[in-house]
């Protein structure tokens, strides 16, 4: 029996990229740091909130790379401190989120140790295309 993949289904033409995207996302699953929430704030709006306590705006970067929202954090060590207990994570991180077509990144706000990134889904224009049928030249 042959395994039927998403990209090979006869009614899903051109979806082989989607299958590769799902595989890439599964392989790049991040560890649990930093923790995050994703909430739907309206019918077409979303918000990703990452817990980044101890990071400043200068320690964080947000980019969109090949339909992926990438959030990176890197803190600069300030002097040499002597910790008796170090329970607050200050390691660098990279957290990626795959964006669907039509998703746009809005503003990002750092507030009370949470980095909020707003997303908006743009509705595609409804297009009806009529294809002209030619006669064969026999």
Q: How far apart are CA 45 and CA 134, in angstroms?
A: 44
pLDDT above 90 (res 18) = no
pLDDT of residue 4: 59
Residue-wise pLDDT for 111-126, tens only, equals 999 999 999 998 888 8
Please tell me the total count of domains within the chain: 2
Task: Provide the CA 101 distance to its chain's centre, in angstroms.
Answer: 11
Establish if 59 belongs to a structural domain.
Answer: yes
Q: Say if residue 26 is in the same domain as residue 41.
A: no
Q: Say if residue 57 is in the same domain as residue 6.
A: no
pLDDT of residue 31: 65
Within 13 Å of residue 85, how many CA atoms lie on the same side as its CB? Answer: 1
Establish if 130 belongs to a structural domain.
Answer: no
Q: Say if residue 70 is in the same domain as residue 90.
A: yes
Q: Say if residue 15 is in the same domain as residue 73.
A: no
Q: Say if residue 70 is in the same domain as residue 117.
A: yes
Establish if 78 belongs to a structural domain.
Answer: yes
Residue-wise pLDDT for 37-71, tens only, equals 999 999 999 999 999 988 999 999 999 998 899 99
Residue 13: CB atoms within 10 Å: 8
Task: Provide the CA 25 distance to its chain's centre, in angstroms.
Answer: 9
Q: Say if residue 73 is in the same domain as residue 85.
A: yes
Structural domain including 26 reads 1-30
Tell me if the pTM is above 0.85: no
């Amino acid at each position: 029996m042959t395994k039927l993949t998403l990209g090979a289904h006869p009614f899903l033409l051109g979806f082989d990229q989607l299958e590769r995207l799902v595989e890439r996302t599964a392989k790049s699953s991040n560890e649990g740091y930093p923790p995050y929430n994703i909430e739907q704030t309206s019918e077409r709006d979303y918000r990703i909130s990452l817990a980044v306590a101890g990071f400043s705006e200068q320690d964080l970067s947000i980019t969109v790379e090949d339909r992926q929202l990438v959030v990176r954090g890197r803190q600069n060590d300030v002097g040499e401190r002597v910790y008796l207990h170090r329970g607050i994570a200050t390691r660098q991180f990279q957290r990626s989120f795959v964006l669907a077509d039509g998703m746009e990144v809005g503003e990002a706000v750092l507030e009370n140790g949470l980095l909020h990134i707003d997303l908006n889904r743009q509705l595609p224009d409804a297009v009806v295309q009529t294809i002209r049928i030619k006669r064969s030249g026999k």
